Amino acid sequence: MADSVFDSAAQNPEGAGYLEELALDLRNTWEHGTDEIWRRLEPELWASTHNPRVVLQTVSRTRLREALADAGFLEMLTRVVLERRRAAQVTTWFQHNYANPPFNCVAYFSMEFGLSEALPIYSGGLGNVAGDQLKAAHDLGVPLIGVGLLYQRGYFRQYIDADGNQTALFPYNDPGQLPITPVRNGEGEWVRLKVRVAGPTLWIRAWEARVGRLKLYLLDTNDPANAPVYRGVTSELYGAGEELRLHQSMVLGLGGWRLLHKLGLNPEVCHLNEGHAAFAVLERARQFMFDHRQPFDVALTATRAGNLFTTHTPVPAGFDRFDVALMERYMKRYSEDRLQIDFDSLLALGRQNPNDASEPFNMAYLAIRGSGAINAVSALHGRVSRHIFAPLFSNWPIPEIPIGHVTNGVHTPTWDSVAADELWTKACGAHRWRETMEGVGERIGALPSEELWAMRGRNRQELVTYVRERIHRSGADDTQHTEHDIFDPNILTLGFARRFATYKRPNLLLHDPERLARILLDRRHPVQLVVAGKAHPADEQGKTLVKAWIKFVARPELRKRVVFLTDYDMLLAEYLVRGVDIWINTPRRPWEACGTSGMKILVNGGLNLSELDGWWAEAYSPEVGWALGDGLEHDADPAWDAFEADQLYTLLEKEIVSTFYDRDAMGIPQAWVEKVRASMSRLTPQFSANRTIRDYVTKYYVPAAVNYKKRVANHCALAIELTSWRQLVERCWPDVYFGNFDVHEDGDTRLFQVQVYLDPLIRDAVEVELFAAESDDHPIERFPMTRCEPLVGATGWTFRASVRSGRPTTHFTPRVIPRHPDAAIPLESNAIKWQR
């Protein structure tokens, strides 16, 4: 329970509890009915923080009593609270579609959650995805619980000096000023856990954040009972040092699953949002061992069916790897005493080659080997990921590497402007993002051009006002700016805000500074540009890229047309995605796993000018925006960067600027508005977190829960059977080999016949099939081969298949693969042999 804003219950005036209830509900980040409440209590503090908890903790008690004594204020407060409570009782999409739900709970693990600037425990894309998916799960009524870490300092805050040098600042996250409360048990005791590591016991405290009807549990190690070396484990997001990263992974994975168990929660599905939390796979299996009296192999076979691993990483170097000596120091006792397996067996779960003693432990490999399904976050990223993880599935064709995809989406209510919200509500109703969104695109697309263009004008004005206020609050030299001399709400506004990493090419737009300056300063068709972004504190190249932009922005003739806004966070992002006309994104393909920044402008009528990478490779068509590149990979080729920079400038000069300023008699750029109409109607529903969460439920959560329950039923009978089956295959596989292979043609039909030698013990545990790989003219083709007569004098059989196909005979090759109706192949057994 939150500490009261007053010293005792006797002092609590009517409505005080309502204020606490609202301040601790992160629905404030997208349901803005409470904004006026906090603005009236403390306008200056609200404007600078947008943190209701800070306002409530800071405002004087006298001012609180005055406000609560105001009948109008109390009526507004009561109405908002009761509306939210009523909304929580409405039948949701999940309840409507799953009257008898296949699962009671999904545990969603992530190293970061971007829910609000009031809870700064995020750095960028991964956190925004996690936060938006929690919000969408609330909207749809999906029973999901978040598990993350509470960072004492979080990700760094950015300060840039007059010379353009970036400095990383780490202000303290005071829990008393955050929208969180301690997790307490039935006796009021703060829930604390302990994890045994090398040396002293590591104590973990648990906190709770509320996202409407959902809860997010956050773990931190700043417990007074901890040794000083452990109090800082959760000090900062993605802290420096391999040992600290290992400790954070242990706290998140091991501590997170133990917390759920201690709270009496038993999730059927565990969703790992990246590999940082992969140790949850081990702890879930350990708890299963204890509850069901089964060995580790059976426990992992049972629980893995309920685990989902989502990878966001487009390059192998992006996964956490831990040195063997470090793993031995911190995880050997756990493997031997708790999992009851030898340490080498644990290491094997995180290695490509289990027998390579020098290979480090890869958290993504553990996540794969401990999960029943894996997905990437866009269609292109799925193809990239299948190549990345191909070494774990040796000799399997790349298209058969078991990695699907669910393209990310954004929580549209978080990112829409007031003007956009009013327009969507008029066209599609107030509850448009809480159901399947059927028909919303058509209805928003049917609105008159003048209404769409008026909405864009209001959005641009809001951004210009915010930019001027932010420049003013930052203490800019009045000789450089006055509060109203920068930006113009009537001219084309470009936005570029990214993490300043080299692969994102944040300076592609600066490839020819003079050409960019000419575009911005064109007297007839002027353009203005907002830039924001941080370079990682250890990324010197990224800092150099920031410095180049600061130098460009400082040019006297450009000061009214381009700004670099420091300390990019969610609040700044909200204003940018609402107001910009064009969002520019320039990653080096295929290193943008998905990218969600450009999705956030869709609901607001902004348009994208982006590399054909990540989500934009799926979304782009000429009717909805503009594309860079040719849809191919060119690595870090400077010549190609120069080509795409020229392409970027040319698009702006020849198409984008002229289309924006080509107005009709009413002052409306009809061709531009038609792109806005197409982008809003086609892409907003498709790339929303509403669609993403529904995809996760139907494609992954429901099957995972069903498979998990099936393996656990009847005293784990299926899990035991599958474990024995897999062990049998592994034991007998070296003795599987091919004999003669013949093909006979009979008209249009070909009869394939092959001899296969294999132990009789596994004749029903394998499948022999003909396989033809994908080609330019043909898809993958598979034809099962029938087991026929046994071979004379040997342990083997003849297998035959009759095939009618237009493909050459040489395209077809027999192969043997494991077979079990309830096993995920090749995820649970990657054995395969080909006839050569």
Render pLDDT for 387-435 as a digit per residue (tens, 0 to 9).
Answer: 999 999 999 999 999 999 999 999 999 999 999 999 999 999 988 998 8
Taking the domains of the chain in order of start, what are their residue ranges?
Answer: 9-88, 104-408+701-709, 460-687, 736-834
Query: What is the arithmetic mean of pLDDT over 8-31?
Result: 83
Whole-angstrom Cα Rg for the chain: 29
Give φ, ψ of 22 to 5 degrees.
-70, -40
Which of the pair, 485 or 151, is modelled with greater confidence? 151
Query: What is the arithmetic mean of pLDDT over 496-514?
Result: 93
**Contact residues for 507 (Cβ-Cβ < 8 A; gap 6+):** 545, 548, 549
DSSP 8-state class, residue 572: H
Render pLDDT for 126-148 as a digit per residue (tens, 0 to 9).
Answer: 999 999 999 999 999 999 999 99
Query: What is the arithmetic mean of pLDDT over 302-312?
Result: 98
pTM, entire model: 0.95
Terminal-to-terminal C-alpha distance of the chain: 68
Closest CA to 651 of 673, 622, 631: 622
Q: Quote the CA–CA distance of 35 and 30 in Å, as a whole number.
A: 10
pLDDT computed for residue 239 by the predictor: 78
Architecture of domain 736-834: Sandwich (2.60)
Architecture of domain 104-408+701-709: 3-Layer(aba) Sandwich (3.40)
Residue 470 identity? R
Query: What is the arithmetic mean of pLDDT over 118-131?
Result: 93
**Contact residues for 320 (Cβ-Cβ < 8 A; gap 6+):** 245, 249, 275, 276, 362, 363, 364
Q: Which CATH number fits domain 460-687: 3.40.50.2000, 3.90.1150.10, 3.40.50.10610, 3.40.190.10?
A: 3.40.50.2000
Query: What is the arithmetic mean of pLDDT over 687-694?
Result: 98
% residues pLDDT > 70 (the chain): 97
pLDDT computed for residue 6 by the predictor: 58
pLDDT computed for residue 162 by the predictor: 87
pLDDT computed for residue 478 by the predictor: 40
- Fold: same for 104-408+701-709 and 460-687: yes
Residue 787 identity? R
pLDDT computed for residue 1 by the predictor: 40
Least confident of 307-311, 602-606, 778-782: 778-782
pLDDT band with cut points at 50, 70 and 90 for residue 716: very high
Q: How does DSSP assign 394-430, residue by residue?
A: TTS-GGGSS-EE----B-HHHH--HHHHHHHHHHH-T
Render pLDDT for 322-345 as a digit per residue (tens, 0 to 9).
Answer: 999 999 999 999 999 999 999 999
68 pLDDT above the threshold of 50: yes
Closest CA to 783 of 810, 797, 801, 798: 801
Identify the residue whose tokens are 């409470």. Answer: 34
DSSP reduced 3-state for 199: coil
CB 770 within 8 A of CB 782: yes
pLDDT band with cut points at 50, 70 and 90 for residue 10: very low
Rounded to 10°, the helix 279-292/702-732 angle is 90
Which of the pair, 379 or 498, is modelled with greater confidence? 379
pLDDT band with cut points at 50, 70 and 90 for residue 535: very high
Q: How does DSSP assign 598-630, residue by residue?
A: HHHTGGGT-EEEEES-TTHHHH--TTTEEEES-
Query: What is the arithmetic mean of pLDDT over 655-676?
Result: 97
Closest CA to 20 of 69, 49, 59: 59
pLDDT computed for residue 475 by the predictor: 61
Render pLDDT for 607-650 as a digit per residue (tens, 0 to 9).
Answer: 999 999 999 999 999 999 999 999 999 999 999 999 999 999 99
